[in-house]
C-alpha cells in the first residue's frame, strides 16, 4: 500500500479543489438542521435528503422540541423522499431523546461536550454509525474529525492508500494520522472525495476525465485505468 505523507494528501486535495472549486458543505441554516440532514442523508442521494429537510422546515418542525412533540407518525410521511423513512423517523426520535435529556435541546451544550465523549455518546444512539456521528461532529459541531464513507473506500483503495477491505477506523486513521486537525480542510476534503466518487471515480471509473489521473502531477491510481503505476516505489 502507499504510505503518503500529509503533504501528498493535501496536494491531492488541492488538485480536486482547483478542478471543482470549494464544495461549501454542509448546506443548511443551522447546526440542528445539519444534524437532521446527516440522519436523513444515510443511504440516499443528497437530493432525497434535502427534500425531506425542506418538508420538515415547511412544517415548522426544524426545532428540537417541535420535532420531538410531532413524533414519528407525523415525521415519517414528511421525510418520505429520504427512503427508509419510518426507520429514519425513529432515528430522529432516538437522537432527540438523547439531545433533550443530555443537552436540554441546546446546540451550545452539545458543542461543549469534549469531542471523544460526544462521539462515544452519539455512537450509543440506536441507528447511528460512525459515518453519521462523524458527519454531525464535523459539519454541525465543527469538530476536527475526518469523515470517511463508501466513496473514500473506493477512491482510497484505487489510490492504494488502504485495502478495499479496510475498516472505517483504518480509513479514518489514514487521514487523521497525516493531516493536522483542521476543520476547514476536513470539511472540504471529504466533500471533494464525495464529489469525485459521485461524478468520476464511479464503479466504472471515468479515468480519462479525472483530475487526479496520471499527468496531473499526482502518482495516479494502482487500480482503474491508471494501474500502470502499480510498480511505483511508493507502494510498499
Residues that bind ligand SF4 (CB under 6 A): 155, 158, 200-201, 205-207, 210, 212-213, 221, 224-226
Contact between 209 and 147 under an 8 Å Cβ cutoff? The reply is no
Q: How far is the CB of 230 from ligand SF4 (least distance, A)?
A: 12
148 vs 207 by CB, closer to ligand SF4: 207
Given the complex with ligand SF4, which of 74 and 214 has the nearer CB atom? 214
Query: Minimum distance between the CB of residue 19 and ligand SF4, rounded to whole angstroms?
Result: 11
Nearest approach, Cβ of residue 159 and ligand SF4 (Å): 6
Please state the closest distance from residue 208 (CB atom) to ligand SF4, in A.
8
80 vs 225, beta carbon nearer ligand SF4: 225
CB 96 within 8 A of CB 90: no
47 φ, ψ (degrees, to nearest 5): -55, -45
* CA distance linking residue 158 with residue 160, whole number of Å: 5
Q: Which is nearer to ligand SF4, 54 or 150 (CB)?
A: 150
Contact 177, 8 (CB under 8 A): no
Name the minimum Å distance from CB 42 to ligand SF4.
24
- Could you tell me the smallest distance in angstroms from the CB atom of residue 111 to ligand SF4? 35
Residue closer to ligand SF4 by CB (options 88, 190) is: 190
Nearest position to ligand SF4, beta carbon = 224
**DSSP result, the chain:** -B---HHHHHHHHHHHHHHH--------SSHHHHHHHHHHTTTS-HHHHHHHHHHHHHTT--SHHHHHHHHHHHHHHHTGGGSSHHHHHHHHHHHHHHHHHHHTT-HHHHHTS-HHHHHHHHHTSTT--HHHHHHIIIIIT--------HHHHHHHHHHTSS-TT--HHHHHHHHHTTS---HHHHHHHHHHHHHHHHHTS-SS--GGG-TTSTTSSS---SSGGGGGGGG-TTB-
Amino acid at each position: 500500500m502507499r504510505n503518503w505523507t500529509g503533504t501528498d494528501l493535501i496536494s491531492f486535495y488541492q488538485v480536486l479543489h482547483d478542478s471543482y472549486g470549494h464544495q461549501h458543505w454542509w448546506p443548511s441554516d443551522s447546526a440542528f438542521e445539519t444534524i437532521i440532514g446527516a440522519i436523513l442523508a444515510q443511504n440516499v442521494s443528497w437530493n432525497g435528503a434535502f427534500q425531506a429537510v425542506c418538508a420538515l422546515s415547511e412544517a415548522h418542525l426544524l426545532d428540537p422540541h417541535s420535532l420531538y412533540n410531532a413524533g414519528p407518525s407525523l415525521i415519517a410521511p414528511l421525510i418520505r423522499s429520504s427512503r427508509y423513512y419510518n426507520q429514519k423517523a425513529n432515528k430522529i426520535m432516538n437522537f432527540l431523546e438523547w439531545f433533550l435529556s443530555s443537552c436540554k435541546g441546546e446546540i451550545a451544550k452539545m458543542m461543549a461536550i469534549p469531542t471523544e465523549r460526544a462521539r462515544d455518546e452519539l455512537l450509543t444512539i440506536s441507528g447511528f454509525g460512525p459515518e453519521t456521528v462523524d458527519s454531525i461532529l464535523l459539519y454541525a459541531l465543527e469538530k476536527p474529525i475526518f469523515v470517511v464513507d463508501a466513496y473514500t473506500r473506493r477512491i482510497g483503495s484505487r489510490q492504494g492508500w488502504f485495502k478495499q477491505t479496510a475498516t472505517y477506523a483504518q480509513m479514518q486513521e489514514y487521514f487523521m494520522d497525516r493531516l493536522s486537525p483542521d476543520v476547514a480542510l476536513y470539511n472540504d476534503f471529504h466533500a471533494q472525495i464525495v464529489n469525485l466518487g459521485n461524478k468520476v471515480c464511479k464503479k466504472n471509473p471515468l479515468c480519462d476525465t479525472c483530475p487526479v489521473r496520471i499527468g496531473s502531477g499526482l502518482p495516479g491510481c494502482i487500480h482503474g485505468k491508471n494501474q500502470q503505476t502499480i510498480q511505483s516505489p511508493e507502494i510498499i
